[in-house]
């Protein structure tokens, strides 16, 4: 078992329902030689797998290794920060992530949200809440038509994973049909 204090959520993977365990086997095999501690947690009958790895490991590098390894999945999202699935917690986590980014402010971005579970009532409410707060601080300019960056909120039950990337990178996270 991996020491929870030394690992963090690094990727959220979507796959077919009932293939979660096989996907986790693929993931752990693909990362076995590059990371000393990696754990994949299959969420049964959900089509979701959570990848935990060492705190210092780069989520984008993990995603690239998984894509090169042809893991059985649909999407592989890098997770740069995670928090509890509560409005205030997500707002704080998003603000930290954006303020620590090397992108000049205000950031021209769009927020994409996917909700799995009942912890958050509505993705659209959450996105409006976070967007208006960040705009009021002049950290971001929300642009639905021509954003430069994407803030992705992946809500999986009590955990929310955050990704922040240039819009051109999104196609890299989509796996080909396995």
What domains can you pick out in the chain, each with its CATH number? Answer: 4-78 (3.30.70.2810), 81-171 (3.30.2130.30)
34 dihedral zone (left: phi>0; alpha: psi -120 to 50; beta): alpha
Long-range CB contacts for residues 29-37, cutoff 8 Å, separation at least 24: 29/69, 30/65, 30/66, 30/69, 30/71, 31/62, 31/65, 31/66, 34/65, 35/62, 37/2, 37/3, 37/6, 37/7
Q: In degrees rounded to 5, what are phi and psi of residue 45? A: 60, 30
Q: For a pLDDT cut of 90, what percent of the chain falls above it? A: 86
Phi, psi of 7 (to 5 degrees): -125, 160
> Per-residue confidence at 176, pLDDT binned at 50, 70, 90?
low
**What is the tens place of the pLDDT at every residue in 64-81?**
999 999 888 999 999 999
Residue 1 has pLDDT above 70, yes or no: no
Segment 91-144, tens digit of pLDDT: 999 999 999 999 999 999 999 999 998 899 999 999 999 999 999 999 999 999
pLDDT at position 30, please? 94
**pLDDT for residue 150 is more than 80:** yes
Q: Which helix (H) or strand (E) holds 90?
A: helix 87-100
Residue owning tokens 């365990």: 21
- What is the pLDDT, as a whole number, of residue 61? 95
C-alpha distance across the termini of the chain, in Å? 29
Task: Give the per-residue pLDDT at 2.
Answer: 39
Looking at the chain, the whole-number percentage of residues with pLDDT higher than 70 is 95
Do 112 and 96 meet the contact criterion of CB atoms below 8 Å apart?
Answer: no
């Amino acid at each position: 078992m991996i020491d929870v204090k030394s690992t963090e959520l690094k990727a959220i993977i979507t796959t077919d329902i009932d293939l979660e365990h096989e996907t986790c086997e693929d993931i752990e095999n693909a990362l076995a030689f590059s990371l000393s501690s990696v754990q994949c947690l299959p969420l049964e009958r959900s089509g979701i797998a959570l990848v935990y790895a060492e705190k210092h490991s780069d989520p984008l590098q993990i995603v690239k290794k998984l894509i090169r390894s042809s893991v059985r999945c649909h999407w592989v999202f890098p997770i740069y920060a995670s928090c509890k699935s509560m409005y205030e917690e997500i707002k704080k986590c998003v603000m930290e992530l954006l303020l620590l980014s090397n992108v000049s402010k205000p950031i021209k971005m769009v927020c994409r949200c996917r909700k799995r579970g009942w912890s958050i009532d509505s993705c659209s409410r959450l996105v409006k809440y976070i967007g208006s707060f960040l705009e009021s601080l002049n950290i971001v300019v929300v642009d639905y038509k021509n954003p430069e960056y994407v803030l992705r909120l992946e809500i999986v039950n009590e955990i929310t994973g955050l990704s922040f990337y240039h819009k051109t990178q999104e196609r890299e996270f989509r796996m080909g049909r396995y």
